[in-house]
Amino acid sequence: MDSILVTGNGPLNGQIPIAGAKNACLTLMPATLLSEEPLTLTNAPRLSDIKTMTQLLQSLGAEVSSLQDGQVIAMSSHDLTSQTADYEIVRKMRASNLVLGPLLARFGQAVVSLPGGCAIGARPMDLHVEGLEALGADIELSDGYLHAKAPGGLKGAVHEMRFASVGATENIVMAATLAKGTTVLKNAAREPEIVDLVECLRKMGAQISGEGTSTIEIQGVDRLHGATHQVVTDRIELGTYMLAPAICGGEVELLGGRMSLVESFAAKLDAAGVSVTETEKGLKVARKNGRVASVDVVTEPFPGFPTDLQAQMMALMCTAEGTSVLEERIFENRFMHAPELVRMGANIEVHGGTATVTGVNQLKGAPVMATDLRASVSLILAGLAAEGETTVSRVYHLDRGYEHVVRKLEGVGAKIERIKGQ
């Protein structure tokens, strides 16, 4: 099994290109199931999760081709052979559940395994099911599979979600595009990935308004056509690399970055003493003066502080002056990186959904183990700022969400290498 060796090497300087958003691309790919005509995505990230979604779509009979070194994905669902998403593929990645709404809307039936993914909480499917049932679907759970039927087609409805779930919003919106009549989805999630999905669906002929707000209205249409769409910039990769010069010093420009994607995160960095400025090419990040200051963080749905940047922010707070409190309100079990940071000399106390971090002058390199996708990159960030060598094992998690992480960090002066497993 591969590992990554990081050696603390001082300030970072240069440019890092930011890829298309993993979470957006994984949502856009199932949209091909809504139409017989081709859907092409550009600016696609080159990640193992994208390969998993490709395998899932192909298992349903879709044609999926990776072009231009993986940055273009060409898809066609004109001749699907199955409406069953098998456990052996779905278990690898939670986003696999996003085929449920499109299959149900187009074919009136779908059988989808309960999903897997990172071990950061239960993340049940109940919000997805409630929304689709509001559109007239009949859904039963049997032997670990959701069996969904809508033989007369889905019908528009007014539905208010109990929680602003991103995945449930995406599934319901896609399903509603082919439902009869108007659907009004209240307490909808507002993330940029949802806005990106709606923009793509609109290019395919969907009639949708209100994306980016808590109320989305969808007027169902009889059919959707093909389209070409550019995947939005990955705000989580952007935020992650914004933390590299914050924790190491130096000045790094993130190519393709947009402030509108990370406003709440950038505000926390500013409060900690990190400058974030817009440039013609993206965002430039540098520490203002010396050691960063501690700040408190509460994870919230967009536009609040992203849960997917909590682990990385904790790494920064480990070396901040003072004590910070990080409260996780989105997922349980999302502090599994804390004990690994403690192995590097961090001072962290975890009580339930709250972590109290007292900054130390210097982290020390140590062998550590990644427990999930975002935890893995938080340990790399900590290693960049640590004295000596840090070996991060189980980095297969990393490949799910960050393309060419070693190359990108080496490009700004980091001393980092990937060690191939035996």
Question: Shortest CA distance to 375 belongs to which of 301, 315, 297, 420?
Answer: 315
The response to whether 202 counts as a known ligand-binding position is no
The least confident of 40-44, 192-196, 334-338, 414-418 is 334-338
**What pLDDT is recorded for position 119?**
41
The response to whether 418 counts as a known ligand-binding position is no
**What pLDDT is recorded for position 28?**
98
Alpha helix segments (H runs only) across 135-259: 166-176, 192-203, 235-248
CA–CA gap between residue 325 and residue 292 (Å, rounded) = 15
Is 3.65.10.10 the CATH classification of the domain at 22-230?
yes
pLDDT at 331 over 80: no
Whether cis (ω within 30° of 0) applies to the bond prior to 11 is: no
CA–CA gap between residue 403 and residue 148 (Å, rounded) = 35
The response to whether 330 counts as a known ligand-binding position is yes
The kind and range of the H/E element at 339 are helix 338-343
Q: Give the count of beta carbons closer than 10 Å to the beta carbon of residue 16.
A: 27
CA distances (Å), origin 264, targets 62, 294, 401 = 39, 16, 21
Strand order in the sheet with 39-42: 63-67, 72-76, 39-42, 227-230
Catalytic residues: 118
Question: Shortest CA distance to 244 belongs to which of 17, 418, 16, 417?
Answer: 16
pLDDT band at 116 (very low <50, low <70, confident <90, very high): low
DSSP 8-state code for residue 364: B
**What pLDDT is recorded for position 117?**
44
> In this predicted model, what pLDDT tens digit does every residue of 280-329 receive, in sequence order?
999 999 999 889 999 999 999 999 999 999 999 999 999 999 999 999 99
What is the chain's percent helix, strand, coil content, to nearest 5?
35, 30, 40
> In this predicted model, what pLDDT tens digit does every residue of 377-395 receive, in sequence order?
999 999 999 999 999 999 8
CA distances (Å), origin 111, targets 84, 147, 237, 276 = 5, 5, 33, 46
The pair of structure tokens assigned to 36 is 């017989």
The kind and range of the H/E element at 56 are helix 48-59
**What pLDDT is recorded for position 122?**
45
**What pLDDT is recorded for position 150?**
96
pLDDT at 118 over 70: no
The response to whether 259 counts as a known ligand-binding position is no
DSSP 8-state code for residue 299: B
The response to whether 22 counts as a known ligand-binding position is yes
> In this predicted model, what pLDDT tens digit does every residue of 235-253 receive, in sequence order?
999 999 999 999 999 999 9
**What pLDDT is recorded for position 334?**
81
Q: 290 or 62, which is more confident?
A: 62
For the stretch 206-209, contacts whose Cβ atoms lie closer than 8 Å and that sit 24 or more positions apart, written own/partner, are 206/177, 208/173, 208/177
CA–CA gap between residue 293 and residue 333 (Å, rounded) = 26
Phi then psi dihedrals of residue 411, to 5 deg: -65, -20
Please, what is the average pLDDT of the chain? 94
Question: Shortest CA distance to 18 belongs to which of 186, 209, 239?
Answer: 239
The response to whether 49 counts as a known ligand-binding position is no
Tell me if 3-19+233-419 shares its fold with 22-230.
yes
The domain locations on the chain are 3-19+233-419, 22-230
Q: Give the count of beta carbons closer than 10 Å to the beta carbon of residue 67.
A: 12
Tokens 């070996």 identify what position?
391
May I ask the CATH architecture of the domain 3-19+233-419?
Alpha-beta prism (3.65)
The response to whether 125 counts as a known ligand-binding position is yes
Tokens 């689709």 identify what position?
132
